[in-house]
Amino acid sequence: MMRCRLLLHSAVFGFGLLISLRADIAIHWSGPAGEPYWTKGDEPLGSSFVWELGAFKDDFQPSRRNFDQWAAYWVPLDRVAHDEVGGGFARTTTLRENSNPFTANGRAYIWGYALRGESDWVLLKSDAWTWPDLSDSLSFPRFWQAQTAQTVVGEMDPDGNPFFLRTERFRADPPRVYADDWLTAVFSDNDLDDPAISEWDRDPDGDGWTNLVEMGLGTNPLVSEAERRDAVVIAYDRVADGHHLRVEVKRNPMVTARIQVAFSVDRTNWSTAAEEVEILEDRADRLVVRDRFAIEALGKRFARVEVVLQD
Ligand SMILES: [Ca+2]
């Protein structure tokens, strides 16, 4: 009797261990190497073309008619630059949670798009590309290959002649890009190799704004422009108890950086807390805040815009 109970315990333990080992599922996703990948203008895709594996949240169904809304619903799980030498792309990533929109049996897509220049896009889907159910101990790794997919936009010619995939061109913004991709898009390879130019805290155009700030506000880090004068506007709002600083910031809607405004009385201690900073407008392309304290109450007040890198 005693022996039987022990066996049962070890069996339960073994089952629990099996589930925890299966909780992460590998997804291998790729487009074949050595094939011609072309832009709509019949140019070979370069390394500023990226491929993302992801899904659309809120059950959004991407189509040619609603292309201008894709970026708002898109959530990437993984991304890779196009291999302009070998052609194609290949990555292995891991699904760790069935969080929205990577819900069990939900549809996966591969979206390829140009980081700069024209909006050249390819969107691939397949009935077989559904997210694994991580609670199912029998889920298995996925192998998703572009040549087995259908195009939502873009043209595919499975025999690879004259092209394997060709993009389509849209008048719409691509999804938000990550910080490192912004660097790749705005700096040349030589600049990227030179930390004195392309590190986040550098200011190659000498306008007093670091590269990090230029990214967050969507200005050009290599050209000191007049347009930046309205990238940050500081004004006063007259409220009952006096004058309150109002700061309006143009945000770069294409990047994942966080933008916030901090206030200070001594330029040493800065606060972004809600007790001091009232958010008046919080949009992808614009942030407007107001100081909760009147200048008259504190004597003086300073404001600064902070750009914080995010994954
Ligand atoms: Ca600068």
Handedness of CA 249, 221, 180, 59 (dihedral sign): positive
pLDDT on residue 285: 73
Which pair of structure tokens corresponds to residue 275? 């007790």
3 state DSSP class of 4: helix
Find out whether 250 and 230 touch, Cβ atoms under 8 Å: yes
pLDDT tens profile 255-276: 778 899 999 999 999 999 999 9
Domain 176-311 class in CATH:
mainly beta
Task: Note residues around ion ligand 1 (Cβ under 5 angstroms).
Answer: 203, 205, 207, 209
Query: How many angstroms separate the CA atoms of 73 and 111, rounded?
Result: 12
pLDDT tens profile 217-245: 988 899 887 666 678 999 999 988 999 99
Find out whether 48 and 56 touch, Cβ atoms under 8 Å: no
Question: Which is more confidently placed, 298 or 48?
Answer: 298
Domain spans, the chain: 19-175, 176-311
Give residue 217 CA to ligand 1 midpoint distance, Å. 11
> What pTM was computed for the model?
0.60
pLDDT tens profile 130-146: 999 998 878 889 999 99
Give residue 304 CA to ligand 1 midpoint distance, Å. 16
